[in-house]
Chain A
Amino acid sequence: MGATVFFGCTFVAFGPAFALFLLTVAGDPLRVIILVAGAFFWLVSLLLASLIWFISVHLSNREDSRLQYGLLVFGAAVSVLLQEAFRFAYFKLLKKADEGLATLSEDGQSPISLKQMAYVSGLSFGIISGVFSVINILADSIGPGIVGIHGDSPYYFITSAFLTMAVVFLHTFWGVIFFDSCEKRRYWALGLVVASHLVTSGLTFLNPWYQASLVPIYIITISMGIWAFFTAGGSLHNILACLSCTQEEDNRVMVYSALQVPVED
């Protein structure tokens, strides 16, 4: 299909992640460090999960396709649990780091809030898992062909890209909720995060029946998004306030900008 589809799918899959990274993370070195370290934690979890799956495949009968399919499902579940375990480990690590940062800083306050860390770590998990899930597919989308010669859906590339986008969002939201729940010791919320992660992972096994996987995954994404929004301190009132003050500010934007530019510089 060529470069057109490659860029189209890349923008779909990583457009939001890129925008979030560029505008909310890239400007702050501390957030970049948290992002990279989070990606590393996710990678370690994947390494362990893949080792478990690899060993189980090698120990089992490789001719038995049903068994292998079962092992794949099992591997996916193990991977999800490990990812959440490492998210918890990362939370613990960040808590420690946060204390350290607080002692270092002049005013005794940490330069980054826990909610910000939750958001950045969630985004890091999302980006790295998105990259790993879609990179093979993107590489193949550069070639001239599309999926379908064996009767598969020709919308494979674009649906994969949308799934990846959902994954990025989901991990971000999960990160926010998870950290908050850990902080407040709300174990039922932790359980809900892990369960929804398992469900999402399981839903992908319905592919290539895309309407059966994409639609529920996006429903989960949106509900997680709303939950995360409220967890992060958002409220209906805030949205209204935001909308109204946007308008207010719009009227005065010239004045402010005239005043503010030299100061910012």
Chain B
Amino acid sequence: MAARAAGGGRRRMGAAVQWNRGSRAAGALLRALLFCLLGCGSCWGNSVEKKIYIPLNRTAPCVRLLNATHQIGCQSSLNGDTGVIHVVEKDQDLNWVLADGPHPPYMVLLEGELFTRELMLWLKGTSRISGLAVAISKPSPEQGFSPGLKCPNDGFGVYSSEYGPQYAHCNWTTWNPLGNGLSYEDFNFPIFLLEDANETEVIKQCYRDHNLPQNGSVPEYPLCAMQLFAHMHAVTSTVTCMRRSSIQSTFSLNPEVVCDPLSDYNVWSTLKPINASSGIAPTDEVIIVATRIDSHSFFWNVAPGAESAVSSFVTHLAAAEALHKVPDVQMLPRNIMFTFFQGETFDYIGSSRMVYDMVNNKFPIKLDNIHSFLELSQVALRNSSVLWMHTDPVSQMNRSIQTQVKTLMDTLINSSLGANMTLQEVSQSQPLPPSSFQRFLKAQDIAGVVLADHRTSFRNRYYQSVYDTAENILMKYPEGLSPEETLDYVTDTAKSLAEVATVVARALYQLAGGTGNTSAIQADPRTVSRMLYGFLIKTNNSWFQSIIKQDLKGLLGNEPPQHYIAVSPLVNTTQLVQYVLANLTGTVVNFTKEECLNPEKTSSSEREMYDYTWVQGSKDPNSTSRVPFCVQSTVHITKALSPAFELKQWGSTEYSTWTESRWKDIRARIFLIASKELEIITLVVGIVILILSLLATYFINAKAHVLFSSPGDPGAVAY
């Protein structure tokens, strides 16, 4: 067993040592002992396992999330669920799985278009399914697909029986009519996403080779099967799992935490520096600009969120950059705060925490300091360049708020004059779409506007789904560009988002009391393209490389980045937003590395006001080394953990209570399985041989003196 236990890792030998020599190959013996002696577990794999299993490496599981009352997501059994693969490409294929097939349970390989609520609820009711692998559909489904809710974040926004009861529970408008709520269902079998078309093809080939019914007869063993491991530790609800975690950590010698709250950090910065520790004067006024930076999909850590998050926060970043370039910006009477909320998808984690901190004096800015609020919701899919201004009808019953909102909208409309877009007001009686602003309204009446590309329901047909990718916001690059050219290529999407950013920046300038000419304020379409490329296509690009800290190189990757909040801070999105914001709004200061990393040691009087980052800089075109430098910015991060966990109110209906279950093992593999008959035959042969050996040995041993006595040598009675 020791040999087996040591051979856990990958093998470096490649094809050199072939392990199909049966049990007797001396090489096997050598290797077996080598495992024991050298303990080289990390560099040797078990090649018998390689002959049996093909691991699926490019998959994403559906995991269990919990809130105050429910569990959602998927669960496999502890040792993984195994089933015979059946490929379902059209509805009729399901008959085999649900009724005709003789080898249940089946592991269904489902085409992306068929992944619908009806079919999933149907599969949920049968015991002939052991799991599901969903192949991502390319192109994205025509009819749209959103596993989110029809009424996102229902119950945690501002509208309730006390506040605009006629608007509560999306009574007025169904914001996400395509939402089928699949993400919020609980499945008792594992569901995996197959992200790689090649792997999907391998599975299908195995299916075609072994499982395809041949001219009407049932397929014969060995059959191709798949095993999915996604056993979740948490169960029932956040109340239960957090209680268990806390009991365990109090009493148990070997505490087993079963779930963690979804949490990360909000990123924020101010136009004029403020002292983050002592706060600002009660009379100071701040305009808050807000966007969310997270998204979600049915599958864990698959959240491209192009339209639902990236388009808006990229616009926001571009507007911040444009404003910082204005010369007289430090003279403006009002300050502007650029706020990037994390975890908004899960019942407003980021914004509810910031409001909670503001109310409890744990934030440098108080609610009373807020002059007005401007939120950028989904903005990329505009119909004939119209951007809609959503306002809250309930708070506008207050005259002064109404006047302020009117001013806000007028300023926005004025700023858009001359730009290639129009801003329009939605009907006065329509409530706000799901937005962070609602959490602020919940605490205090504030004048605010939410900008969005939709008038009523979302124009995004792939809200919170795996298909909300760069293609969804119509980002198209010409063929044959190098990565470097792609990074700087200004797409139409980038142009139109830059326009939005320009309008927002100009409006903010005026709202902050700026009186200068606004026509000079202009967001840079090239910056927008770079950000879109970085946040949607590939984070590992030369620009991102140059603006991050040296030791964070690992967070850049060649895959499209995902914007799921997760449970362990800081996630890539948050850090990247932080560095991009610092880069776009900060200034390069002449600090040494030592000073930059420890600004409290310098004599600078402004060190309380700023954040300093030592970034690795861009590559010198003539050499391979980088020129690092120090960036001074007003960027801060504050915790985005729902106050429910701060208050230990795990059953809260006021604050988000989403937690993510823990797990030990998530993986998928395919292999062949033998028929029960062959297994039984093997066992019977084994038992027969054992019994025969016992009998034969007994008799030979009993008769040994007769058998092995040679007449000439009576003394040599052997056995």
A and B touch in the complex (CB under 8 A): yes
Other-chain contact of B706, A62, A79, A232, A245 (Cβ < 8 Å): A245
Q: Are B20 and A11 in contact (CB under 8 A)?
A: no
Contacts of B683 in A (CB 8 A): 4-5, 7-8, 11
Q: Is the CB of B707 within 8 A of A132?
A: no
Contact residue among A19, A24, A146, A163 (Cβ-Cβ distance under 8 Å from B222): A146
Contact between A201 and B24, CB atoms less than 8 A apart: yes
Q: Are A65 and B709 in contact (CB under 8 A)?
A: no
Q: Do A15 and B693 form a contact, CB below 8 Å, given A65-B16, A119-B719, A146-B52?
A: yes
**Total count of chain B residues near the partner, CB < 8 A:** 77
Collect the chain B residues with CB atoms within 8 Å of residue A11's CB.
683, 685-687, 689-690
Q: Is B15 an interface residue (CB 8 A)?
A: yes
Instruction: State which residues 53-79 of A face B: CB under 8 Å.
Output: 53-54, 57, 62-65, 68-69, 72, 75-77, 79
B13 contacts the other chain (CB 8 A): yes
A12: B residues at CB distance < 8 A: 682, 685-686, 689
How many A-B residue contacts, CB cutoff 8 Å?
A: 272
Q: Is B234 an interface residue (CB 8 A)?
A: no
B227 at the interface (CB under 8 A from A): yes
**Given A8-B683, A116-B719, A135-B1: A15 and B690 within 8 A (CB)?**
yes
Q: Is B49 an interface residue (CB 8 A)?
A: yes
Taking a contact as CB atoms under 8 Å apart, the answer to whether A50 and B16 are in contact is no
A121 at the interface (CB under 8 A from B): no
Given A20-B693, A80-B26, A242-B703, check contact A136 B4 (CB 8 Å): yes
Chain B CB within 8 A of A211 CB: no
Would you call B707 and A238 a contact (CB within 8 A)? yes
B21 interface residue per 8 A CB criterion: yes
Whole-angstrom distance between the Cβ of B85 and the nearest chain A Cβ: 11
The A-contacting residues of B in range 670-685, CB under 8 angstroms, are: 670-674, 678-685
Residue B32 contacts which of A9, A23, A136, A213 (CB distance < 8 angstroms)?
A136
Task: Tell yes or no: B29 within 8 A of A by CB.
Answer: yes
Convert A32-53 into 0s and 1s, putting 1 for each residue whose CB lies closer than 8 angstroms to a CB of B. Answer: 0000000000010011011001
Q: Which residues of A contact B681 (CB under 8 A)?
A: 8
Cβ-defined contact, A54 with B34, below 8 A: yes
B718 within 8 A of A: yes
A8 in contact with B24 (CB, 8 Å):
no
Q: How far is the CA of A95 from the CA of B698 in the complex (A)?
A: 28
A to B CB contacts below 8 Å, 21 in the list: A4-B679, A5-B682, A8-B681, A8-B686, A13-B23, A53-B30, A62-B14, A69-B16, A75-B26, A115-B716, A119-B719, A132-B32, A137-B48, A139-B4, A149-B51, A149-B672, A152-B51, A156-B51, A163-B24, A213-B22, A241-B706
Q: A19-B697, A146-B52 are in contact. List 13 more A-B contacts (CB 8 A).
A: A5-B679, A9-B682, A23-B694, A135-B1, A136-B32, A140-B46, A147-B672, A163-B22, A204-B23, A232-B719, A242-B707, A246-B699, A246-B703
- Report A's interface with B, CB cutoff 8 A: 1-2, 4-5, 7-13, 15-16, 18-20, 22-24, 43, 46-47, 49-50, 53-54, 57, 62-65, 68-69, 72, 75-77, 79-80, 113, 115-116, 119, 129-130, 132-137, 139-140, 143-150, 152, 154, 156-161, 163-165, 167, 200-201, 203-205, 207-208, 210, 213, 217, 232-235, 238-239, 241-242, 245-246
